[in-house]
Structure 1
Amino acid sequence: MNHVHDASPDPTILLTIVLKHHAGLTLDDVQARLKDSGWWDHFPVEGTRVVSWTVAMGLGQIVTLEVPPHRLGAVNLELERSAWGVFRTEVYPTYDFVPVRERIVERVKAGGQ
């Protein structure tokens, strides 16, 4: 059996990272710890792209990255290295629902489900 290898680069995945603030840390504490850990120099890791970075008041920061699968470990390592102790982290594989929603809306308008 012959296998044809696609020469295109690895596809990317979307990864949503929720950085929840630790109770008891002031903004000055957070900024000092992030600076000391090199956060601003090392995150996001090389080879990834920020899709969005928002602040949810009372929750923390929500970062969505476009990540080649082979860089997933590097993202995890950097979160462990520089975010832990400042944020509680939650990481979710993500996909863009807008095109799916648009298809559903069109289907419903046409009488489908």
Structure 2
Amino acid sequence: MTETVMLTVFLKHDQSQNLEQIQAHLGEQEWWTGFPPEGVEILSWNVVMGIGQIVTLRMPPELLPKVNVELERRAWGVFSTEFFPTYDFVPVRDRLTREWQERKEAAANE
């Protein structure tokens, strides 16, 4: 399996602009066809009222600089950005839950 990293990006709306201004800028920057760059998978893309958008991406590590450049090229001017390395906690949570239940059952059988 190819190594990948996950990245969560907060795209915070510039609230000094209205929706029409934001959409016009994104259109001029070819946002909808240029982001994310090729080879980057969108895992989720959510609108969060009062914040903007939260996007989670999965990619080979070598594409991280390209994601950064495309955000600078296409999103700046309508969004401020924050980045958070991300990982899937569900398998870890499942393992921890299973281990906790096994310990609980073992203690009850003593």
Normalized against structure 2, the TM-score is what? 0.90
For 1:41 and 1:13, locate their aligned partners in 2 and report how far apart those are by CA, in whole Å.
22
The answer for the alignment partner of 1:14 in structure 2 is 6
The answer for the alignment partner of 1:25 in structure 2 is 17
Bigger helix share = 2
Q: Where in structure 1 do 4 or more consecutive aligned residues deviate above 3 Å?
A: none
Instruction: Give the number of aligned pairs.
Output: 104
Identity of aligned residues (%): 51
The answer for the alignment partner of 1:35 in structure 2 is 27
The answer for the alignment partner of 2:97 in structure 1 is 105
Secondary structure at the residue paired with 1:110?
Answer: helix
Is the counterpart of residue 61 in structure 1 residue 53 in structure 2?
Answer: yes
1:16 alignment partner AA: T
The answer for the alignment partner of 2:108 in structure 1 is none
Structure 2 residue runs without a partner (length 5+): 105-110
Cα RMSD, aligned residues only: 1.2
Of structures 1 and 2, the larger Rg is shown by 2
Q: Deviations over 1:22-50 (max 9, x none)?
A: 12111111100000111111001011110
The answer for the alignment partner of 1:91 in structure 2 is 83
Structure 1 residue runs without a partner (length 5+): 1-7
1:37 alignment partner AA: Q
Normalized against structure 1, the TM-score is what? 0.87
